[in-house]
Structure 1
């Protein structure tokens, strides 16, 4: 390479460097702003995560403290005074509060607490379904069987995770109405269902025997 060529390359490189510095001086603030934005967003995300974790921990501590009360009425009252800041936290709190209220004999109040979850569109569907199921259970002494049957039938459909538990309640309503044959048929369908848990199948088997039915165990999916 001649001295002339070497000189030209040095000059070209210097020009490129000058242009780069010029671009940095002119547009460097954009890159700096982007970096600050990324770092700030990451910091804010960590801050929010820490806040949410702290709120969840505080809610858990408050519920544990309420459940440590000796009397059912005191537990129910203490839980009812707690406030949750997220829909899911409020749903869990409502389930625990309703349980304490039911144990204290306040079934109407428990049903009202559960309905606040079943009517809340901000919580996942399974939360609302569980709330509806529990509401029907606590209303067993205050709501007529036809209304409860309609409620359980709405849950005893494919795609609902509480389907078989709702079927069990429908069988119990059959017994309540004196229709033993219908109850036995429902319990047998539970025995035959591949999604039935061992505990649910055991209860179905015991109920069928008590009703004088002849369980067909060979058809059970979990045999």
Structure 2
């Protein structure tokens, strides 16, 4: 019985092998395509990364060369010839809008265009709105400036503390000095506020007759909330 059983096993194994080979000949190309797709995808990703790096370096070099030029008109002209798209275009617009003294109208136009461009990252658009409010100043109605700043001052927005600083200045403009001092005091103790914002807040508190030392001694809002809890 062992010989016939062995023969049957061998035949069965051979049949299985033939079926596997047949399946491989029929469907093996799928695995090959998958492997080639993985290898090709990795290569394409690496190539794209290298292209993006080279593009960013070229853009940075061109911007630095333009900013090294002496006269403002020459810098603006050089910046205007730099090819850019996406986020680079947003950066370039901000750079072109950086000379409000030389051409205030053009600066405001560039900032308005960037702020309204929904294809750009929200952070750049927020910065454009903030800068437009600062550059325009009293030429924009106070209510319009506050309406523009309020969304930027919301928690989680990248320029929240700068917007809060400008909102405090609007309170001063309205003659609401006590409320302005309270807002500026909160800014001094705000851990997210940059050093420049805190320094300006301290100077404004002094100018309004307040005591910045009291603000420094006060606990941060987060700490006070933790203590209360």
TM-score interval, normalised by the smaller of the two chains: 0.7 to 0.9
Q: CA deviation at 1:192?
A: 4.6
Residue 183 (str. 1) matches residue 175 (str. 2): no
Hey, what's the Cα distance between the residues in 2 that align with 1:45 and 1:194? 39
Which residue number in structure 1 is paired with residue 88 of structure 2? 89
Q: Which residue of 1 aligns with 2:6?
A: 6
CA contact (8 A) 1:79 1:97 kept: yes
Q: 1:73 maps to what in 2?
A: 73
Q: C-alpha displacement at 1:30, in angstroms?
A: 2.6
Distance (whole Å) between structure 1 residues aligned to residue 36 and residue 20 of structure 2: 22
Once the two structures are overlaid, the 10-residue window that deviates more, 114-123 or 181-190, is 181-190
Q: Distance in 2 between the 1:68 and 1:105 partners? A: 17
Are 1:117 and 2:114 an aligned pair?
yes
Structure 1 residue 61 and structure 2 residue 32: aligned? Answer: no
Residue 126 of structure 2, aligned match among 119, 126, 129: 129
Q: Distance in 1 between matches of 2:10 and 2:43?
A: 44
What number of residue pairs does the alignment pair up?
A: 220
| Mapped contact 1:155–1:163 kept (Cα < 8 A) | yes
Give me the TM-score of the superposition, normalised by structure 1.
0.83
Q: Classify 1:37/1:185 alpha carbon distance in 2 versus 1 (closer, same or farther; 3 Å).
A: closer
- Measured against aligned partners, the alpha-carbon deviations of 1:20-73 in whole angstroms (never above 9, x if no partner) come to 111122222333333333333333323322222222222112111111111222
CA RMSD of aligned residues (A): 2.7
Q: Deviations over 1:98-130 (max 9, x none)?
A: 22x33x611221222222321122222222111
How has the CA–CA distance of structure 1 residues 141 and 10 changed in structure 2, closer, same or farther, with 3 Å as cutoff? same
Q: Which runs of 5+ in 1 are unaligned?
A: none
The yes-or-no answer on 1:18 pairing with 2:18 is yes
Q: Quickly say closer, same or farther: Cα 1:32–1:129, change in 2 above 3 A.
A: same
Q: How does 1:121-200 map to 2 (within 5 A)?
A: 121-140=118-137, 142-200=139-197
Deviation of the 1:16 alpha carbon: 1.4
In structure 1, C-alpha distance between the alignment counterparts of 2:197 and 2:203, rounded to whole Å = 10
Q: Distance in 2 between matches of 1:40 and 1:154?
A: 45
Q: 1:177 to 1:91 in 2, by over 3 A?
A: same
Q: Which moved more, 1:141-150 or 1:12-21?
A: 141-150
- Give the equivalent residue in structure 2 for 1:40: 40
The C-alpha deviation readout for 1:155-194, integer Å capped at 9, x for no partner, is 3344433233222223333444554344333323323545
